[in-house]
Amino acid sequence: MSVTTPNPTVDWKTDPHPLRCPDCGGSFAPVETGLACAGCHRVYPIRDGILVVKDEPTADNLIARDFYNSSLWPKFRFWEWFFFVCNGGERRSRNVILQHLPKQDGLKLLDVAIGDGVYHSWLPRDWNVVGIDVSTSQLAACQRRNADRGLRLILGEAETLPFQDHSFDAVLSIGGFNHFNDPEASLREMARVARPGAPIVISDESPNLTDRMIGHKLGMPGIDRWVVSRLMNLGDAFTDLVERNRHINIAEIGQRVLKDSKYQVIWRGGGYVMVGQAP
């Protein structure tokens, strides 16, 4: 990937394209506190540069939000870093996913569950990136980490993306898909906002990753639950969420939604990457 001149910073009030109201589909116009829908007149505030589309997520998204906004996430981040070290380092591990993005100047990229944006400094600087996440603390960290890149960020859920149809050249989602309220609905939204034929790249840990732990192999999953929840600092609520979703069939979801969907196991069985095209 080439390194070129970065885009100038453009905020949501300066250019609300490609936004649309998730409630009625109306267009946005700037107002004093943020953006207002021309159709239903709902006002979406902008706080510290972040457009707030939904600040109170529901169900599994709420569990994820509370985890990433808590003191548990920085503690768990060590274990994520350690996992990547065991797979050749974080950059090498993430590049297994990022290599599926197009090599295109000025790419319009949507990153769903952008998190702290640790990998965006590795992407071409002329790409136009929009990111959405449920966590205010993650979005704030992403801003700090990528202050010179002009990312435009949104607080909201993957199931109701606030964008016009066919707005992006590619869509990326790393590390959240397994735990969305409705992964299939989220993928359909990603396909909707991508231009026809655009690549959609999804990656996360293997849903049944805990099956590889010693407690599950011995028929004593409670041991592994304690290790994940307490020792690894995932917490009780998020650990329960992981266990509930361990039988989700990611490949089947991709086959139902995307064109030419391909599912590949990565990180020595610890994760997957799924790549397909928007229909």
pLDDT by residue for the chain (279 residues), tens digit each? 434 444 445 689 999 999 999 999 999 999 999 999 999 999 999 999 999 999 999 999 999 999 999 999 999 999 999 999 999 999 999 999 999 999 999 999 999 999 999 999 999 999 999 999 999 999 999 999 999 998 999 999 999 999 999 999 999 999 999 999 999 999 999 999 999 999 999 999 999 998 888 888 888 888 999 999 999 999 999 999 999 999 999 999 999 999 999 999 999 999 999 999 999
Count of structural domains, the chain: 1
Note whether residue 39 is domain-resident. Answer: yes
Q: What's the pLDDT score for residue 10?
A: 66
Note whether residue 3 is domain-resident. Answer: no
Note whether residue 110 is domain-resident. Answer: yes
Note whether residue 239 is domain-resident. Answer: no
Cβ contacts of 43 within 8 Å, gap of 6 or more: 31, 33, 34, 35, 36, 37
* Nearest residue to 81 via CA among 116, 132, 121, 133: 116
- What's the CATH number where 166 sits? 3.40.50.150
Note whether residue 153 is domain-resident. Answer: yes
| 28, 19 contact by CB (below 8 A) | yes
Domain of 119? Answer: 28-207+248-277
The residue type found at 248 is I
Strand order across the 43-47 sheet: 28-31, 34-37, 43-47, 50-52, 152-155, 128-133, 108-112, 170-174, 199-205, 271-277, 259-266
Q: Are strands 170-174 and 128-133 parallel, antiparallel or unpaired?
A: unpaired
Note whether residue 242 is domain-resident. Answer: no
Note whether residue 11 is domain-resident. Answer: no
pLDDT digits (tens, 9 = 90+) for 241-263: 999 999 999 999 999 999 999 99
Note whether residue 229 is domain-resident. Answer: no
